[in-house]
Amino acid sequence: MTATTARNRMLGHVITAEQFDRDLLDVLFARATALAGVRDDRLAHRIMATLFYEPSTRTRLSFESAMLRLGGAVIGTEAARTFSSAIKGETLEDTVRMVSTYADLILLRHDEAGAAARAAEVASVPVVNAGDGPGEHPTQALLDLYTIERELGHVEGVRVAFCGDLRFGRTARSLALLLALYPGVRLAFVAPPVIQVGGDILSRLEARGVECRLAEQLTDVIDDVDVVYQTRVQKERFTDPLEYEQARTAIRIDGAIMRQLPATAIVMHPLPRVDEIAPEVDSDPRAAYFRQAANGVAIRMALLEMLLA
């Protein structure tokens, strides 16, 4: 697929990882590699609006950086729950209708699953899902997959252990759906029952022929992995404090775990981390999470170019 065909197919919204296919991913990753480090004005006079109803460091700032590196402009509200007219009772739909007339693209983070799809229904410009509650985080999945390809040199046949909060964590869900596009991928979901992955995702993966297994301890699968994808327990999504306590310290990666991890495997994490990866792990060359976060700028430049150029 050429970059132009890909661009034509991308016109529209980015709501779920399931809208991507291999051809589109190949074009996007090639563009990300070509755009890394670029600063020009190909998106001059284009405006991105960021509407964030939930906190963010990486997603908002790497999208803003990507837009500015390509010569575009950014407007936005980073605490939309309190600093936009949402506090006066305005609906998401009305806000999105209005902002569609102020900007060429809306980047939306919201605390409800399905919010990005709702916004896309009424928007007259592309809506990009920057995380919708426990739903999905498709652009994080793009940068995660790009990181796996760059770190390991391939995605086919890769063995990934997802760890931590697989019940509320949206990044693991979106990445698992993207990995399902690659033959021979094997996935392990490592978590105590209270935060184990939902049956909905498992059945979607199994319907696509992905080999999945469940475990409670990382040590049960550690000999058989290329990627450990650790995640934060999503404290803000628990309604039962007892369940949160059961989940909180479930899986921690420290020096002892790193000694058992194969020499060629990597550790990823969408960040922010709290205490699920000990700081002593950071200096290990297999700790890929800061390189992973840095890849977010190039991936988001490629995505913005496809949506807006």
Q: Is 167 designated active site?
A: no
Q: Which residue from 163, 208, 158, 207 is spatially nearest to 189, judged by alpha carbons?
A: 163
Is residue 276 a contact partner of residue 233, using CB atoms and an 8 Å limit?
yes
Q: Is 88 designated active site?
A: yes
Helix axes 289-308, 3-10, angle to 10 degrees: 80
User: Choosing from 31, 58, 69, 232, which is the catalytic residue?
Assistant: 58
Q: Distance between CA 158 and CA 163 in Å, rounded? A: 16
Per partner kind, with CB cut-offs from 5 to 8 A, the member of ligand CP, ligand ASP, none near residue 170 is ligand ASP
Figure out which of the listed residues 60, 137, 167, 173 binds ligand ASP, where binding follows CB under 6 A. 137
Look at the block and give the residue holding tokens 């837009």.
67
Q: What mask of x and - would describe binding to ligand ASP in positions 205 to 244, judged by CB under 6 A?
A: ---------------------------x------------
Positions in 53-92 near ligand CP (CB under 6 A) = 56-59
Give yes or no for residue 290 binding ligand CP (CB under 6 A). no
Q: Tell the burial category of 279 from Cβ atoms under 10 Å away from its Cβ (0-12, 13-18, 19+).
A: exposed
Figure out which of the listed residues 72, 135, 138, 270 binds ligand ASP, where binding follows CB under 6 A. 270
Q: Which residue from 246, 291, 248 is spatially nearest to 267, judged by alpha carbons?
A: 291
User: Choosing from 39, 45, 88, 259, which is the catalytic residue?
Assistant: 88
Q: Which two tokens stand for residue 293?
A: 């976060």
Q: Which two tokens stand for residue 283?
A: 């200096």
Per partner kind, with CB cut-offs from 5 to 8 A, the member of ligand CP, ligand ASP, none near residue 164 is none
Figure out which of the listed residues 170, 173, 186, 300 binds ligand ASP, where binding follows CB under 6 A. 170
Q: Distance between CA 256 and CA 79 in Å, rounded? A: 40
Residues classed as catalytic = 58-59, 88, 109, 137
Please give the residue ranges that form the binding site for ligand CP (CB under 6 A): 56-59, 131, 140, 270-272
Please give the residue ranges that form the binding site for ligand ASP (CB under 6 A): 131, 137, 170-171, 232, 270
